[in-house]
Amino acid sequence: MEVFLMNTIRFTNLPGDGIGPEVMSTALKVLEKTGKAYNFICETADHDVGGIGIDNHGEALPSSTLEACQSVDAILFGSVGGPKWESLPPKDQPERAALLPLRKAFELFANLRPGNLFPELADLSPLRSDVVSNGIDVLCVRELTGGIYFGQPKSTRTLEDGQKEAIDTMIYRTGEIERITEIAVKAAALRGNKICSVDKANVLETSVLWRQTVSECINRLDPSIELSHMYVDNAAMQLVRDPNQFDVLLTENMFGDILSDELAVICGSLGMLASASLGTGTNSSGHPFGLYEPAGGTAPDIAGKGLANPCAQVLSSALMLRYSFGLEDAALAIENAVKETIRSGLRTGDISQGEPSVGTAEMEEAILSRIA
Ligand code: IPM
Ligand code: MG
């Protein structure tokens, strides 16, 4: 008799606000079905985060949620925020008050944002069809726990003449640059073996150090990688001019924030884009701890109506299987199921181009039926 050892994967799921709970529900069903085919069981519990955290516990990242995340190997995150909490001071709003402390608490320094546009959806891109007819496939690797987001001092004060003065500080150390470069190198090796590092070395000291450290690090780790450097203003321009000149884009926190939104919009629909934020060290399954989230927002206008596109959340769960649990085959199975569903012509409202659109349930059904 053959004995199969079932692999148990442990993660928290944080559905959050708006469409978060609906699309999370789809992702969990897809994971469960995938587990049956690929021999793993999901052990997961949901916890409040974001606006619902503020409503139920008085904070966007309740301590109970943080503790639950500390006892697992990964976080599957929905999305947070909405009109209800928009009048709060910026630092208390769900997006910032939940995400930034989570990134810091788990030192999630590596943010991977795949910019993919399926050729079938090329018409959704705001770019000219001759530029995107073959689709887009660019990976943005963004440093996520350093730079101007977290550097101290960070403050506002009133000067003697009555004006106010605000300071943010941009700091990078070589260690921070090396570890994100290593991630980019690993990612590039699985793709086109090409990295474009983006900085502002004509103006910023941190960028001079960035450029130098990235060059040295790649030289040491894998000189076969085709490395180029680009100033961020030029990169922003090149990305709309000819996105497929890039394979892996490697950049610091704030430039990555901006360029990854640009990459997302040229890919046509936020409803299709996933992301991964990886930490240092290894989790109990020997892989990096990570937080996985769709790139789109909470879409308050369609929340609770069963119209949300679950693809980005489902694709985020595939990234979780790949990076935090080493389940590459299962991850590919999910990604292929989503691809096949899109190929079959099924469209939620956000990706429909005139054809009748379906709701979350039909999309879910179609994805589930394609998990072998
Ligand atoms: C993102 C978001 C966050 C960021 C905000 C919500 C703090 O824009 O994940 O890109 O700036 O990193
Ligand atoms: Mg952003």
Distance 256 CA to ligand 1 centre (A): 10
Would you say the CB of residue 95 lies under 6 angstroms from ligand 1? yes
Q: How far is the CA of 177 from the centre of ligand 2 (A)?
A: 20
**Of 3.90.190.10, 1.10.287.110, 3.40.190.10, 3.40.718.10, which CATH number belongs to 1-123+267-372?**
3.40.718.10
Name the band, by pLDDT with cuts 50, 70 and 90, for residue 213.
very high
**Among 80, 252, 257, 275, which is best to mutate for testing ligand 1, by the most ligand atoms less than 8 A from CB?**
257
Task: Give the helix, strand, coil percentages of the chain, each rounded to 5.
Answer: 45, 20, 30
**pLDDT value, residue 372:** 81
pLDDT-derived band at 270 (thresholds 50, 70, 90) equals confident
pLDDT for the residue numbered 281? 87
pLDDT of 348 higher than 90: yes
pLDDT, one tens digit per residue, over 91-124 is: 999 999 999 999 999 999 999 999 999 888 999 9
- For ligand 1, atom 2, which residue shows the shortest CA distance? 257
Cα of 115 vs centre of ligand 2, distance in Å, is: 14
Q: Which CATH architecture group holds 126-264? A: 3-Layer(aba) Sandwich (3.40)
Segments making up each domain of the chain, as ranges = 1-123+267-372, 126-264
Say if residue 309's pLDDT is above 60: yes
pLDDT of residue 269: 83
Q: Provide the pLDDT confidence category of residue 202 given band limits of 50, 70 and 90.
A: very high
Which pLDDT belongs to residue 3? 58
Same fold, 1-123+267-372 and 126-264: yes
| Ligand 1 geometric centre to CA of 257 (Å) | 6
Q: Return the pLDDT at 5.
A: 72
Q: Does the pLDDT at position 14 exceed 60?
A: yes
Residue 231 falls in which region: left (phi positive, over 0), alpha (psi -120 to 50) or beta: beta
Q: Could you tell me if the CB of 46 is within 6 A of ligand 1?
A: no
Mean pLDDT within 338-355? 94
Q: For 38-81, how does the pLDDT look when each residue is reduced to its tens digit (9 = 90+)?
A: 999 999 999 999 999 999 999 999 999 999 999 999 999 999 99
Give the Cα separation of 30 and 306 in Å (integer).
17
Among all residues, which ones are annotated catalytic? 149, 200, 233, 257, 261
Question: What pLDDT does residue 207 have?
Answer: 98
* Beta carbon of 257 within 6 Å of any ligand 1 atom: yes
Greater model confidence, 183 or 4? 183
How far from each other are the two terminal CA atoms of the chain, in whole angstroms? Answer: 24
- The confidence score (pLDDT) of residue 83 equals 96
Contact 240, 131 (CB under 8 A): no
